[in-house]
Amino acid sequence: MKITILTLFPEMFTPLKSSIIGRAWKEGKLDIDIVDIRDYTEDKHKKCDDYPFGGGAGMVMMAQPVGSAIEAVDPDRTARRIYLSPKGQTFKQDKVYELVSHEHIVLLCGHYEGIDQRAIDLFIDEELSIGDYVLTGGELAAMVVADAVARYVDGVLSPESLVQESFSENLLEYPHYTRPVEYRGLSVPEVLRSGNHAEIDKWRREQSLAVTKKNRPDLL
């Protein structure tokens, strides 16, 4: 799978290289291409933003550099082209499963007050939001989408870590413990040390239900 990220701030993606996703990238399981939109401007001063028609605060990213960058990275229009914006549909796990089925996804990051609507209308398939808050740019949102999708690419994660998720469908995770048995007066629940796997499964299901009821009753 290939993930192309279009941004005016390519240096923001440097930490990706030292992550789990970065390891998969180096091992050739995943291709991540960070593309600088500024490389596609036709302006002699490399300008990529301008004042909004109609007035108002802030700047708007110009359609031309964005359009030319998208056309350059996906000339046959075979990729799924996604714009990260606070007004997009909320990005959820079902969208992760859908996106991982695409051979190529393009993530477009906006800055300032957003991108000239004509670039969105002409070149974008869908607008996604990672949640109801505003960020200074779409880069962090694109990183969230890239990470969530990349972990389902073959060989990025161990199969065991993925199997677990499908079991706990629609419930939040039960609590996890490791050594030592006692830490600052708090002990690991006895049942987890009992070796009785029927009892352990039962306890974990109960804990999942309890935390879901408390934190996310909307999921029940």
The window from 20-28, 40-48, 110-118, 205-213 that contacts ligand 4FD (CB under 6 A) reads: 110-118
Helix pair angle (93-100, 139-150), 10° resolution: 70
From 46, 89, 126, 131, residue interacting with ligand 4FD (rule: CB under 6 A)? 131
- Decide: is 22 part of the binding site for ligand 4FD (CB under 6 A): no
Distance CA 136, CA 140 (A): 9
Pairing state of beta strands 80-90 and 126-129?
A: parallel
- Decide: is 200 part of the binding site for ligand 4FD (CB under 6 A): no
The window from 9-17, 94-102, 128-136, 155-163 that contacts ligand 4FD (CB under 6 A) reads: 128-136
Distance CA 218, CA 220 (A): 6
Comparison of 65 and 138: residue with beta carbon closer to ligand 4FD: 138
- Decide: is 156 part of the binding site for ligand 4FD (CB under 6 A): no
- Decide: is 85 part of the binding site for ligand 4FD (CB under 6 A): yes
- Decide: is 141 part of the binding site for ligand 4FD (CB under 6 A): yes
E strand spans, the chain? 2-7, 31-36, 49-50, 60-61, 80-90, 104-109, 126-129, 182-183, 186-187
Secondary structure, 3-state, 63-90: HHHHHHHHHHHCCCCCCEEEEEEEEEEE
Other CB atoms within 10 Å distance of the CB of residue 6: 28
Helix (H) or strand (E) run with residue 215 in it: helix 197-215
- Decide: is 129 part of the binding site for ligand 4FD (CB under 6 A): yes
The window from 46-54, 65-73, 81-89, 147-155 that contacts ligand 4FD (CB under 6 A) reads: 81-89
- Decide: is 67 part of the binding site for ligand 4FD (CB under 6 A): no
Q: How near is the Cβ of 77 to ligand 4FD at its closest, in Å? A: 22
Report the interface residues with ligand 4FD, using CB under 6 A. Answer: 84-86, 110, 113-114, 129-131, 133-135, 137-138, 141
